[in-house]
Structure 1
């Protein structure tokens, strides 16, 4: 009798692959767009895009934007926006530069000091947004000007350089590897890539089994297998390419840890569910007992913290703290979130989606650079890509309403 009742439930809980893919059009379309863009840019650059050195450059050179996108997508999901993160990057660079270069203190003191200032900056903005009630757009627009001014005052409009090697290693260093750079395949890098791929697959399987026990809706098994296999293969391919140049960049490890932590927070914690609820329907969130003011405050504190990490990464990679550092970074981070599937109205988005959106922008930028296109053409194309992503979001919503 239990077999007869269980079978229909399974059948109802697991959609057909076509209907499932149509219901996940946003996510599937993003993955397809990324793969198509990789193939197109590889062709247009005569095969020079996906070389070990260029892949390393893309990851290292865009890590701080990807880090900023983690905090930004959480703010956007809650229905806010943050225009100040580029100025926060400049301010944190200035603070850490003064601590390490001017005062001569150890690099880790500068890192702790930078993270503390980032949290203070976030708390300052969070108070105005959450408890005073000023829209985040206005507060962070003021923050963009204020923190840029503080960075210029701290530096006296004069860049600070060079930084200690131990500090520079945060943004430009690599994990230890066997053998010389650019000679052969590094087994350490490949082993790390294999471990990461295996852990991700195991976690995916465990999550699927957990949903099955709870009787929750499942993605089709065939699609699950394909997705897990493609994810593992992609990680191994990137590890193989990195192993042939210098190994795994330290900042990529930092980025990976942040992605894992914040994906877990947004998917499995009460705080993450509250952020989605606040962005989806503010009135309903309040009526359900969610302290939306506290959520808003913590979101901006967190975004200040994330901005500090990005500021340290950028300053370390460039080995310089300048008053104009981080210029327009906020727009790149926002673009990564919207291209990655975040909704303009809030309530929708994922950390992984923001990472994919950021990688799409990074691939597009680097590919156009290799093709010799000017910055004017690059800006034009990036603007069209962002507009297309938002238009797709609007289309997807109107399609859902019609259905």
Structure 2
């Protein structure tokens, strides 16, 4: 089954973060890969300047001049990745003015980036208590809760962030990822679509949307979403393999072959694309080309150290040899009449039952995405980056 997703998830505290892939392999059957798990892709933290942040930075953060000075020092050090210095400055600012909600939000960001999740949650909670309309604090709280495994609570925080600020595309994206992981695919699809409406250049959102649509059997829509993802990110080999698998399994063989060939052009060492292309050619009866492509797949798997898969492909190649080898008529040991003469082709070896009869996507079963929604965690965010 698909269960190797490649969900990309946004983590933005207002900065941003993401997760890594986790693959749970099932024992592959002869001739094809089969994986049943998903993997998240998280991006490295990056600071995001929100619209209007420069104006906000020029606005006094506090009537207490000492508090305002320490706050600006904290922002400057934070942006220079001097987290220890930033923490000290923000705490000094709070000693002079305890109502600096943004200072609490920054502290939450610092602790989230240090994976000190419990303290981060506390700081974001304080930021929200001080300023209930601080949308980024809700969003960042969602990130911390998600990392703690509290996905239901994270969903609530993301939704509250969107109530305060409906334009936070990353909140919609991460909301979709959390809903997907909680087996709420229709809600996840809606969230990804909203994320795309807010940011139509987000290749990961299209990719995750395609995975969810594919699992719901919405094949044409899934193919369209994969195509959009690849227009924005032409190097996503998993998207090529998933889309090719969908096409091949639904009778669009020539289109599938073209997609696998595109995948190989983008990455000449994509073993899965060679394998899927070889199986598709085999099912077309083009044994000579299939054998050559499968040989390349076998060699690439060997280079990767995946000896088990390489051996299975070797067995498939041997079966192709048997199918294409000229057969000699069998000579009966007893006299036969002409009507009893064996058919010259009666001894052609038939494919074994385990031989693949449909292409499969990278480490996945047919019709199931081979990657988990990508989680691009948009690191902790803050409204007032220093100049």
TM-score tier, shorter chain, comes to under 0.3
Structure number with higher helix proportion: 1
